[in-house]
Structures are given as C-alpha cells and as structure tokens.
C-alpha cells in the first residue's frame, strides 16, 4: 500500500482529493488533513459586510466534499518531517507518506503590524478575510453613521488581490443605497503605486475610482497603527487618519510550515512555477495560496493548477518527467457595485486584456468591461464552486492554460 | 523600446524597466538612479546585488523580504531608495518591476 497525504481541505486540497480519487491506482491510500470541520466559500466573505450573504449561505461541512475513497482526518498539523516523509499531527498521530501535497493556504496575521491588534480590533479596525471579521464588519456598517472609511492593504502578497478594490466599490454603492454617501469619505490606501498597477487595466478602469469619488493613497507601506488616535503611519512617516479602517492584514502561510523549515519569511513554500513541485523535496507538491509562486493567490489559480498538478503527481509516481506547464493563469470577477462586475483573465506573462470569455469572440462574458452579465457570472460562481470546482469536475470551455484567442493582446504586450 | 544609457543601447519596457538583465552594468545603474533622483553610494550596491540574485533564483520580492535579508532593514531600505524603495531599487538593479495585481 502506498500513501498520498494532502494537507489542507480548503479549495485546493478538496479539489485534489477528488481529482486523485479518480486517477490514483488502487494500491494507493489517500488521506486528507485539516483542523476544521466546515468548508467556507471564501469568495462569499466579500458580500457579508453588505448583507448580501449571511454566514449560513457560505458554509458547508468539509466531509460532504471529500470523496469516499479518501480518509478525512480532522486534526491540527504539528510538523512535516520532509527528510523522513512523515507528518506529525497534534494528537500525536504520525502519517507516513510517499507523496505529500501541501494545500494549507494562507491566513491573515494582523499581529505582524505594530499596534494593529488591540481593543480597537473589530471595533474601529476590521478585516473581512475571515468569516468572523466579515460578520462583525456587517454589524458595524449597519449602524455606522458616516465618517472617513479607509480601505487598506498592509503588504503584498495577499489572497485575492482585487478583493480590497471590490470592497471599496461595494461600500460606495452600499452607502449610496443607505442615503449616507455624502457623509462618507472613502480612501483606498495601498502599498502599490496605484489601485490598478498594470497599464491596460489602468487605462480601462482608472475612471471608476474618480467617478465614485474614491481617493487613492498609493505607495503606503504601513509601519504601525495607533488605535487610540485612529491613525496609520508608514515607513516614511506619512499618516492617514480614519474613523473606520478596513484592512487586509499581512497574509502568511500556516505556522507548521515554519516549524517544518519549508517556508519563506511569510511561510509560503518555494515551489517550481511550471511543475508545482516543491523546491525542498521531489515528493512534495504545493498548490494554491500555500506556494510562493508569482501568481495571484486565488481559487481560480488553484483550480487551474489542479489539472497540471494531477498530471504531475501521476507522472511522478510512474517515474515520468514532469510537465513544466503551469502558466500562472488567473481569472477573476471584479465587483464594481450596483449589480455590475468586470472580468479579468491573465497569467505570468500576459496582463489583463480586453476581449471575450470563455468562448473566443463570443463571450458571453466581456473582459475588462463592466456589465450586469459579469455580475451574474460572479453570483452563479457559488454554485459552480460547490458543485464543480471543489469536486473536481471539468468546467466547460475553461482551460487551465490561458486561451489566447479572442483577446486583444496587441494592446497588452507593453 | 531601445534607448541609450551610459553610452550603451539598452532595451526598456514602457515603464522604464530593463527587459534584459545582461545589458545591466554599474554605469547603467548609476544613470537610472540619477533619473530617480538617487546618487548611488556604497550602501546601495549590496541591495542591488541582493535583488538581482533573488531575481535570478526566481524568488518573488517584497519589501518585507528585503527587510529580512540581512542586507538592510526596512527603514534603511527607505532611506536608500526614498518613495517606493522596491520599485525604484528594482528598476536600478535592472530587474522587472515587482509583480502586483491588476
């Protein structure tokens, strides 16, 4: 009997357990470890602060999505001993493996910023990257009378890099709906040099911020937060004051990654960008947000990685050369408020482009263009997520490699 | 886009970043630094070399990573390359602009 162990039963881990259950030979056992009982539909966090979704709309039991063939172990991970092919769990169980897949993602680490945690946490300073944070922010927003809302990114990389911008657009629409938009000043505070940093996206979308009266504070690398004065300060001494701060704290990989000596300074795991094999060991593969790849940390990326990882695990156990094919493909809906969204499609080398998706020249979705159809696509995605994506079913017309047909690359290759 | 920097023909993208690190040398660096309003000193070179080494090893860069590199801390990094240290230092080092989103 041979052993394949998957660490993490989120988007990537659950999807891989389903892929592998169909393909691994019968003499392979599959075990999947996660400390949680509940699977969160994380793209749904964005909508909770505005009351569009409630907590119960975005959670389901993990076990429901694990294939029969795999054993689900609900337990914390203590450590991976990569030299001896072993995983130690908190209940002192030891799992030996022939192949290990790490899919433990990323989480917020507000303790990384001086002063971010304190009495003000979830009172005047909020995150929406956890279910708890999103729910508390909803309660706050419902009773908020207005003032200065600063939406803030602590440092890159973060999961779903467009979510802060979407939050900002949705907040603008939300306050308008509540009739208090004129009492709210909205700022977007970012360590990057703008809200849209890539030239093509910037050219297509730059007007959105202006139209919505959102001020951008670029190149702001936070050093500390003063919860009493309600001020954040950057490394150059610049200050931004707020009444309500919605921050994306530093994102880090899981703690056991650090204890196992497998991660970088943020516990992300050095990974070969085309094959998804870890740089530390040949029999360790990494997928999704847990990698250090220069791709977006997003479910769509994990989805595209999944097909190549499946192929490479099969090749690895058969002693064949790995495919060096992952191209960094990402595909994201971006909510812009008022029932509209836009869609972006990009990879390691191509920045977001205009055109149609998923069928070249037809659509029905338009890239880089606000439309109601794109918003409907985003809302329909929840069903696709639960019923196709994490269960490892093929999504029609959407391929792991970026399709170059029907897209306007001539204006993108800059 | 081809341009002449320090008497050499250099390929730049439209944001002014070198597209081929092989075309980089210290004179080129000094001139790009000048455009960024920076006079290169002994303190700058180890940082530029560190960035290039990380780039060659395909390691994604961040301000935090540079701050933990042992070469400089974050405050020194800002002092050397004021106003967007990673973007400016990357341009002077001849490596691509650090990856960001859209």
CB contact under 8 A, A270 and B59: yes
**A332 → chain B, closest CA residue:** B102
Chain segment A183-224, per-residue pLDDT in tens: 999 999 999 888 887 777 877 787 899 999 999 999 899 999
Of A197, A235, A414, the CB nearest to B78: A235
Say yes or no: domain A2-106+253-318 is CATH 3.50.50.60: yes
Residue of B nearest to A160 (CA): B101
A interface residues, B as partner, C-beta within 8 Å: 155-157, 161-162, 191-193, 196-199, 201, 205, 219, 221, 223, 235-236, 250, 264-266, 270, 273, 292-294, 296, 334, 344, 346, 351-352, 414
Cβ-proximal residues to A408 (8 Å cutoff; 6+ apart), any chain: A353, A354, A355
The CATH homologous superfamily to which domain A111-250 belongs is FAD/NAD(P)-binding domain (3.50.50.60)
Return the DSSP state at A269.
Answer: B
Q: How many domains does chain B have?
A: 1
Nearest by CB to A201, from B59, B63, B102: name it. B102
Q: Please give the Cα distance from A380 to A375 (Å, whole number).
A: 9
H helices of A212-298, in order, are 255-259
Q: What is the pTM of this model?
A: 0.92
Question: Are A241 and A229 spatial neighbours (Cβ–Cβ below 8 Å)?
Answer: yes
Residues of B in contact with A412 (CB under 8 A): none
Coil, strand or helix at B89: helix
Do the Cβ atoms of A294 and B60 come within 8 Å? yes
- Say how far apart CA A68 and CA A187 lie, in whole Å: 48
* Residue A207 Cα, gap to closest chain B Cα (Å): 14
Question: How many helices (H) does chain A have, and how many strands (E)?
Answer: 7, 24
Asked whether the beta carbons of A247 and A128 are under 8 A apart, the reply is no
Taking CA A260 as the corner, what is the angle to CA A1 and CA A311, rounded to the nearest 5 degrees?
45
A108: closest CA among A159, A52, A182? A159
Where are the domains positioned within chain A? 2-106+253-318, 111-250, 330-408
Shortest CB distance from A235 goes to which of B60, B75, B98? B75
B11, B19, B74, B101: best mutation site toward chain A, by most A Cβ within 10 Å? B101
> CB atoms < 10 A from the CB of A379, how many?
16
| Whether B84 and A193 lie within 8 Å, measured CB to CB | yes
The residues of B annotated as belonging to the active site are: 101
A397 vs A296: CA distance, rounded Å:
21
Q: Is A359 left (phi over 0), alpha (psi -120 to 50) or beta?
A: beta
**pLDDT band of A268, cuts 50, 70, 90:** very high
CA separation for the pair B92, A15 (Å, rounded) = 42
Q: Mean pLDDT, chain A, as a whole number?
A: 94
CA of A218: which chain B residue's CA is closest? Answer: B84
Task: Find chain B residues with C-beta within 8 A of A196's C-beta.
Answer: 102
Which pLDDT band holds residue A412 (cuts at 50, 70, 90)? Answer: very low
Return the half-sphere exposure (C-beta side, CA atoms, 13 A cut-off) of residue A146.
11
Can you tell me the distance from the alpha carbon of A101 to that of A262, in angstroms, rounded to the nearest whole number?
13
Confidence band, pLDDT 50/70/90 cuts, at residue A398: confident
Q: Give the range among A226-235, A256-265, A349-358 with minimum mean pLDDT.
A: A349-358
Nearest beta carbon to residue A155 from set B59, B62, B82: B62
Residue B99 lies in a domain: no
Q: What is the reported pLDDT for A408?
A: 76
Q: Is A6 helix (H, G, I), strand (E, B) or coil?
A: strand
Query: In sequence order, what are the residues at sequence separation of 6 or more whose Cβ sits closer than 8 angstroms to the Cβ of residue A308?
Result: A275, A276, A323, A325, A326, A400
Q: Is residue B102 part of a domain?
A: no
Q: Stretch A314-328: mean pLDDT, rounded?
A: 96
Write the CB contacts of A69 (distance below 8 Å, at least 6 apart in sequence).
Answer: A21, A30
Residue-wise pLDDT tens digits, A330-386: 988 999 999 999 998 888 888 887 888 888 887 788 888 899 999 999 999 999 999
Q: Given this chain, do its domains A2-106+253-318 and A111-250 carry the same CATH topology?
A: yes
């Amino acid at each position: 009997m041979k052993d394949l162990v998957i660490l993490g039963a989120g988007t990537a881990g659950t999807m891989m357990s389903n892929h592998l259950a169909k393909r691994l030979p019968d003499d392979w056992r599959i075990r999947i470890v996660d400390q949680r009982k509940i699977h969160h539909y994380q793209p749904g966090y964005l909508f909770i602060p505005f009351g569009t979704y409630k907590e119960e709309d975005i959670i389901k039991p993990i076990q429901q999505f694990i294939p029969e063939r795999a054993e689900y172990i609900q337990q914390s991970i203590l450590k991976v001993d990569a030299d001896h092919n072993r995983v130690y769990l908190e209940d002192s169980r030891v799992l030996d493996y022939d192949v290990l897949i790490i899919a433990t993602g990323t989480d917020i680490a507000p303790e990384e910023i001086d002063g971010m945690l304190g009495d003000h946490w979830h009172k005047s300073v909020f995150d929406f990257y956890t279910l708890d944070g999103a729910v508390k922010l909803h309660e706050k927003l419902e009773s908020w009378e207005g003032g200065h809302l600063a939406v803030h990114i602590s440092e890159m990389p973060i999961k779903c890099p467009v979510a802060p911008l979407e939050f900002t657009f949705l907040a603008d629409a939300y306050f308008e709906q509540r009739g208090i938009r004129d009492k709210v000043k909205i700022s977007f505070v970012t360590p990057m040099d703008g809200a849209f940093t890539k030239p093509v996206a910037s050219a297509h979308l730059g007007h959105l911020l202006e139209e919505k009266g959102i001020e951008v504070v670029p190149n702001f690398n936070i050093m500390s937060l003063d919860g009493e004065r309600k001020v954040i300060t950057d490394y150059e001494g610049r200050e931004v004051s707020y009444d309500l701060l919605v921050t994306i704290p530093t994102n880090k990989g899981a703690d056991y990654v650090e204890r196992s000596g497998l991660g970088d300074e943020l516990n992300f795991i050095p990974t070969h960008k085309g094959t998804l094999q870890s740089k530390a060991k040949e029999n360790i593969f990494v997928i999704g947000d847990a990698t250090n790849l220069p791709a977006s940390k997003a479910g769509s990326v994990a989805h595209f990685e999944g097909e190549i990882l499946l192929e490479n695990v099969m090749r690895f156990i058969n002693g064949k050369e790995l495919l060096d094919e992952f191209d960094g493909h990402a595909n994201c809906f971006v909510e812009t408020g008022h029932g509209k969204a836009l869609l972006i499609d990009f990879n390691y080398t191509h920045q977001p482009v205009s055109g149609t998706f998923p069928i070249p020249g037809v659509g029905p979705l338009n890239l880089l263009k606000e439309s109601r159809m794109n918003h409907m696509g985003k809302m329909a995605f929840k069903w696709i997520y639960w019923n196709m994506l994490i269960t490892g079913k093929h999504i029609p017309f959407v391929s792991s490699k970026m399709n170059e047909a029907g897209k306007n690359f001539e204006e993108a290759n800059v | 886009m081809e341009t002449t920097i320090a008497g050499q023909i250099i390929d730049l993208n439209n944001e002014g970043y070198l597209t081929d690190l092989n075309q980089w040398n210290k004179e080129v660096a000094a001139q790009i630094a000048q455009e960024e309003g920076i006079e290169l000193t002994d303190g700058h070179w180890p940082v530029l070399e560190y960035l290039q080494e990380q780039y060659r090893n395909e390691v994604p860069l961040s301000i935090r990573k540079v701050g933990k590199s042992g070469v400089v801390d974050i405050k020194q990094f800002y002092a050397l390359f004021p106003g967007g240290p990673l973007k400016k230092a990357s341009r002077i080092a001849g490596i691509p602009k650090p990856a960001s989103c859209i």
